[in-house]
């Protein structure tokens, strides 16, 4: 009887010396469970985390503790296990599994059923299970880094660059998230503003500069001919499945409908009383196409145009089908702006374009959008302002990962 008890005991509580994958899996599962309990009992708040400068203090305390534990308790079996590969692997797979939930379910608050919201399933990446798992992951990664860095060997360089880069990018990205500001600056042509809208907490804030919008301009791709089915409210795809640029002589066909472009004017105005549109270079000019063709054997002839917010589109109708000219999708859009800093009368001219942001006083400005109903006639330009004081640290992490990765690549192709 006594003997049996001892056996059970050794199975239940193995000495930390032999801790490995099984204990790693238990800890990972426990973290998720505790996280779910905190999520259900904690209410709506999510994971509270302070902003500058307390986030930096917490991060530094974490670093100091990891370094001290790594150096002073190097031979402690629990610490060895905490910084070992088995736990690391379990935590990596646990983060992957949590990301899987966040990658399958829509991540919009209130998007799913209530119970899912209560467990944080609609905001996995700011939930307790994720935060706890990532915290232990940072501890695990940090300990292994301390051991590979002290004492340092050149052969460890790739390991240190990759792992330290990952640690810095992950820790600074998460701890710095509370200092990240993303605002929308609505700009109207001919007006200036120094106010911005914060979507996160629905407030207006003042900016340390003001922006004046001289001009918003947009280039579009070539318009396209399309057949619209009014009964089913849908566009019917062409026979060839080919979308070619509009030009004179272009032939397009659908079932029962064949159309040829007799004339094409890229920019023209059709004045009332005139027989046909006349080419024009003004802003209200539109693309016009003169079509000939057949519809179920009957011939058709006429002008079509895309229309604009001011002019109705022109189309050729037959029964419930319409032959229409659709405006091309946006090719480029840009805002010509003047940036005025405090107190200076004269501003700096600049152009904002997608993929070409501008940096002003710690803010990055991005061409974000425009009035989509007005399209290229929009007089509104939406600019996004982003301030992320932790970005240099995150980028430092990224570049260390890239450097470590390059070394890893050489190692990989050199080995036989």
* Residues at the contact surface with other proteins, assessed by CB under 8 A: 85-86, 88-89, 92-93, 95-96, 99-100, 102-108, 125, 173, 180, 182, 221, 237, 240-245, 328-333, 353-357, 364, 366, 368, 384, 386, 388, 391, 394, 398, 401-402, 405, 408-409, 412-413, 415-416
- Residue 71's H or E segment, with its range, is helix 54-72
CB nearer other proteins, residue 39 or residue 384: 384
Distance in Å, CB of 272 to other proteins, minimum: 34
Token pair belonging to 366: 């991005």
Whether residue 407 contacts residue 161, with contact meaning beta carbons closer than 8 Å, is answered with: yes
Report the chain's terminal Cα–Cα distance, integer Å.
57
- Residue 13's H or E segment, with its range, is none
DSSP reduced 3-state for 283: coil
CB nearer other proteins, residue 141 or residue 213: 141
Distance in Å, CB of 61 to other proteins, minimum: 25
CA distance to 154, 189, 248, 409, per residue, from 158 (Å): 8, 52, 60, 10
Distance in Å, CB of 402 to other proteins, minimum: 6
CB nearer other proteins, residue 190 or residue 392: 392
**How many CB atoms are located within 10 Å of the residue 12 CB?**
7
Q: If you count them, how many residues does the chain have?
A: 416
Distance in Å, CB of 78 to other proteins, minimum: 18
CB nearer other proteins, residue 16 or residue 357: 357
CB nearer other proteins, residue 74 or residue 387: 387
Whether residue 322 contacts residue 230, with contact meaning beta carbons closer than 8 Å, is answered with: yes
Distance in Å, CB of 180 to other proteins, minimum: 7
Distance in Å, CB of 86 to other proteins, minimum: 6
CB nearer other proteins, residue 215 or residue 245: 245
Of 416, 409, 414, the closest CA to residue 162 belongs to 409
For residues 215, 220, 225 and 227, what is the CA-based torsion angle, rounded to 10 degrees? Answer: -70
Distance in Å, CB of 64 to other proteins, minimum: 26
DSSP reduced 3-state for 267: strand
Distance in Å, CB of 84 to other proteins, minimum: 9
CB nearer other proteins, residue 99 or residue 203: 99
Whether residue 339 contacts residue 350, with contact meaning beta carbons closer than 8 Å, is answered with: yes
**How many CB atoms are located within 10 Å of the residue 266 CB?**
14
Of 202, 32, 181, 195, the closest CA to residue 100 belongs to 32
Whether residue 335 contacts residue 356, with contact meaning beta carbons closer than 8 Å, is answered with: no
Distance in Å, CB of 416 to other proteins, minimum: 8
- Give the separation between CA 204 and CA 197, rounded to whole angstroms: 5
CB nearer other proteins, residue 18 or residue 243: 243
CB nearer other proteins, residue 295 or residue 366: 366
């Amino acid at each position: 009887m006594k003997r049996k008890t001892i056996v059970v005991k050794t199975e239940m509580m193995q000495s930390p010396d032999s801790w490995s994958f099984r204990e790693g899996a238990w800890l990972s599962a426990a973290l998720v469970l505790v996280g779910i309990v905190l999520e259900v009992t904690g209410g709506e708040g999510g994971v509270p985390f302070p902003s500058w400068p307390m986030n930096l203090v917490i991060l530094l305390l974490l670093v100091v503790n990891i370094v001290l534990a790594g150096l002073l308790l190097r031979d402690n079996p629990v610490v060895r296990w905490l910084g070992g590969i088995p736990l690391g692997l379990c935590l990596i797979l646990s983060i992957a599994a949590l990301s899987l939930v966040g990658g399958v379910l829509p991540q919009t608050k209130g998007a799913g059923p209530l119970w899912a919201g209560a467990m944080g399933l609609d905001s996995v990446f700011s939930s307790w299970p994720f935060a706890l798992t990532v915290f232990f992951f940072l501890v695990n990664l940090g300990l292994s880094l301390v051991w590979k860095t002290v004492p340092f060997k050149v052969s460890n360089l790739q390991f240190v660059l990759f792992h330290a880069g990952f640690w810095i990018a992950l820790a600074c990205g998460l701890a710095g998230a509370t200092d990240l500001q993303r605002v929308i600056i609505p700009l109207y042509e001919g007006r200036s503003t120094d106010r911005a809208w914060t979507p996160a907490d629905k407030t207006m804030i003042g900016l340390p500069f003001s922006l004046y919008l001289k001009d918003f301009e947009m280039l579009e791709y070539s318009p396209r001919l399309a057949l619209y089915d009014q009964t089913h409210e849908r566009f019917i795809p062409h026979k060839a499945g080919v979308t070619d640029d509009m030009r004179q002589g272009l032939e397009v066909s659908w079932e029962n409908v064949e159309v040829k472009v007799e004339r094409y004017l890229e920019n023209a105005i059709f004045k009332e009383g005139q027989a046909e549109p006349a080419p024009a270079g003004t802003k209200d000019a539109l693309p016009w196409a003169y079509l000939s063709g057949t519809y179920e054997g009957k011939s058709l002839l006429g002008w079509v145009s895309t229309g604009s917010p001011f002019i109705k589109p022109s189309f050729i109708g037959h029964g419930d089908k319409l032959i229409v000219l659709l405006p091309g999708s946006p090719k480029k859009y840009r805002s010509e702006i003047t940036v005025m800093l405090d107190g200076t009368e004269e501003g700096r001219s600049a152009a904002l374009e997608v993929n070409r942001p501008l940096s002003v006083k710690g803010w990055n400005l991005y061409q974000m959008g425009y009035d989509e109903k007005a399209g290229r006639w929009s007089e509104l330009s939406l600019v996004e302002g982003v301030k992320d004081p932790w970005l240099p640290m995150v980028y430092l992490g990224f570049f260390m990962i890239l450097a470590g990765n390059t070394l890893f690549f050489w190692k990989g192709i050199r080995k036989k």
